[in-house]
Structure 1
Amino acid sequence: MVPLIAERMDDQFQQAHAQRMQQKKAQVDAAVERSRALQGVVVLLTGHGKGKTTSAFGTLYRALGHGQRAGLVQFITGTQSNGEVTFLLQQGLLGQGAFARVAYHAMATGCTWNSQGWAADKAAADIAWQAAQHMLADASLGLVLLDELTFMLEYGYLDASDVAAAIRARPPAQNVVITGRNAPPVLLALADTVSEIADTRHAFRAGIKAQAGLDF
C-alpha cells in the first residue's frame, strides 16, 4: 500500500508542478508580447559589491559575438594590464581606428587615491570624455561601455548634465553600459536597467591578495 500512496503523491506532485509551469509560461509569454519596442538601452551597474566591470565586459563580449562593433572607455584604469583588455588585444579586436572591432580609450591615470592630483586627473578625464563622446555619436557602434564613469561625476571631473545629454543624444539603436559605485541620481533616472551589486563579503578584507584571472 505504501508504494501505491507514494505513486499517487508523485502523480499529484507532477500535476501541480505542470500547472505551476503552465502559469509561469503564460506570464512570460504575456511579458514578451508586451515588449515590442526595439531601441538602445542604458544599463547601469552600481553598488559596492564585486563584479560590475566583469558583468559589463560580459555584455561587451556578447555584442561582439553577435557581430557588433563596440566602444570602450575605462575612466580610472591605470597602466597595469587587466585580463579583459589583454584578451581583446590577443584577439586583435582592440584599436583606435574606424575599423577596430572595439574602439578603445583608457584614462590611464589609475585610481584617484594613487595620483592625488585633481588638476591632472581632471585633464585626463576631459580627454577620456572626448573619446566617449565620439563613441556615443558613432552609429556604427552597437554598444558603448563607460567603465567606472560614476567616479568622474562623484569627484567633479565631469559635469553630470553634460554626460546625461550626450547619452540621451546617442544613435537610437546604440546600447550603453555604465559601471561604478555611488551612481548619482541623474544616472539612476536616465538608465533603463539598473542593477545594484551588494557587498556582502570580500576576500580582500580577509587578507587574501587580489589574483590575476579572478580580480584583474
Structure 2
Amino acid sequence: MEIEAPPIDRSTPKPEGERRGLVLVHTGDGKGKSTAAFGLALRAHGRGKPVKVYQFMKVPSARFGEHRLFEQLGVPIEGLGDGFSWKSRDLDHSAQLAREGWARAEATIRGGEHFLVVLDEITYPLRYGWIPLEVVLAALRERPPNTHVVLTGRNAPEELIELADTVTEMRLVKHHFTAGVPAQRGIED
C-alpha cells in the first residue's frame, strides 16, 4: 500500500442546485446492493422520515435479519414474491405476484407519503418481463418531487441507469462462496 497525504482542499465544487427526490440504483454482480439500500432506509428512518421497503423476490412470510430489525424499528417491509425463479414451482404465478407487488409499490411511490421507497431486487422481474419496464420508468419520472426511490438487483436495464440520478455498480472482486464457504446468517440472509 502506498501512503498518501490527506486532502486539505475541497476538490469538488459545492452543489448549488435545488434539493429534490432522487432515483438511486444499486446494481452489479458484487455483494452489497440490498445492504446499501437498507442502509439508506435506516438513515432516513433515523431522521424521522417515512420509509417503505418492498422486496420483489422474498416471500411475504420471510424472516431474514432485515425483516426482524425493520419490524423492531417500525419500518414497513413487504415481501412480494415467492422466491427466486429457480425455487418457483409456477413461474406464471411468480409473474402474477410481481405484477401485483408492482401495483402496491407504484401506489406508494405515486402517493408521495414516503420520503424513501426501496424496490429491492426489482431488476429480476423487469428482466424476466414480468413487469413492463416502461411503467416503472413512468412512475419514477412522475413521482412526487420529494420522493426518493432506490432500486436494486443485478443487470439493471440501461434505460433505468439513464433515468437514475445515482448509479452504483457493485463489482465482485472475491467471494467466499467460490472458496467453498457457505452463506452465513447475519452476513447473507
Report the counterpart of residue 146 of structure 1 in structure 2.
Answer: 119
Q: Which residue does 1:99 correspond to in 2?
A: none
Q: Pick which of 78-87 and 57-66 moved more.
A: 78-87
Paired letter, 1:69: P
- Contact 1:153/1:159 (8 A) holds in 2: yes
Structure 1 residue runs of 5 or longer lacking an equivalent are 1-16, 95-101
Shift of 1:140: 1.8
Task: Output the CA distance in 2 between the equivalents of 1:35 and 1:49.
Answer: 33
Runs of 4+ with >6 A deviation: none
Matched, 1:38 2:22: no
For 1:113 and 1:140, the matched residues in 2 are separated by 35
Higher helix content, 1 or 2: 1
1:76-95 equivalences in 2 (<5 Å): 76-78=57-59, 79-91=61-73, 93-94=74-75
1:67 pairs with 2:40: no
Question: In the alignment, is the contact (CA less than 8 A) between 2:22 and 2:148 conserved in 1?
Answer: yes
> Structure 1's 108 and 118: CA in aligned 2 closer, same or farther, altered over 3 A?
closer
Query: Could you say which residue in structure 2 is the equivalent of 1:214?
Result: 187
Deviation at 1:41, TM superposition (A): 0.5
1:108 CA drift (Å): 3.5
Question: Contact 1:43/1:177 (CA < 8 Å) preserved in 2?
Answer: yes
Q: 1:199 to 1:116 in 2, by over 3 A?
A: farther
Counterpart in the other structure of 1:128: 101
Cα contact 1:76–1:110 (8 A) shared by 2: yes
CA distance in structure 2 between the partners assigned to 1:35 and 1:67 by the alignment: 25
- Aligned to 1:129, the other structure's residue is in SS state helix
RMSD over equivalenced CA pairs, Å: 1.6
2:141 aligned residue: 168
Question: Within 1, Cα distance between the matches of 2:180 and 2:160?
Answer: 34
> What secondary structure is seen at the aligned counterpart in 2 of 1:71?
strand
**Paired residues, what number?**
184
Whichever residue aligns with residue 67 of structure 2, its letter is: V
Deviation at 1:116, TM superposition (A): 4.7
5+ long unaligned stretches in structure 2: none
With the length of structure 2 as denominator, give the TM-score of the two structures. 0.91
Confirm or deny: 8 A CA contact 2:62 2:79 kept in the other structure: no
Q: Is the 8 A contact 2:56 2:80 kept in 1?
A: yes
Give, in whole Å, the separation in 2 of the partners of 1:138 and 1:211: 37
1:56 paired residue among 37, 42, 53: 37
Range that drifts further, 202-211 or 78-87: 78-87
C-alpha spacing 1:64/1:178, structure 2 compared with 1 (3 Å): same
Corresponding letter in the other structure for 1:165: A
Matched residue type, 1:59: L
Contact 2:81 2:94 in 1 (8 A): no
Native 8 Å contact 1:105 1:131 kept in 2: no
Give percent identity, aligned residues only.
Answer: 35
Give the secondary structure class of the aligned counterpart of 2:115.
Answer: strand
